[in-house]
Amino acid sequence: QKQRNRLISKVRAAVERPFAVFKQHYGMRRLRFFNLATNRTQCVLAGCGYNLQRAAAVLFAVRKPA
């Protein structure tokens, strides 16, 4: 089991990172609405915001000279 966890830990970390950001920074521990369409819209917009934030971090990263 430890060997299996070591093998899949990189993939798991990459997948779980957005969910952690949604919960901690966007307050999406629970959905707010009873309407499925509204909840879906909120999740899609949060995903767009996360992607924009990641893109800005990648594009405008300050690189240290080697």
| pTM for the structure as a whole | 0.73
Alpha-carbon separation of residue 53 from 32, 40, 60 (angstroms): 23, 20, 11
Cα–chain-centroid distance for residue 33?
21
Q: Residue 31: what pLDDT?
A: 87
In eight-state DSSP terms, residue 62 is -
Q: At residue 61, what is the residue type?
A: A
Res 66 pLDDT > 70: no
Q: Residue 62: what pLDDT?
A: 78
Share of the chain above pLDDT 70, in %: 98
Question: What confidence tens digit (pLDDT) does each residue in 2-49 have?
Answer: 999 999 998 999 889 999 999 999 989 998 889 999 999 999 999 999
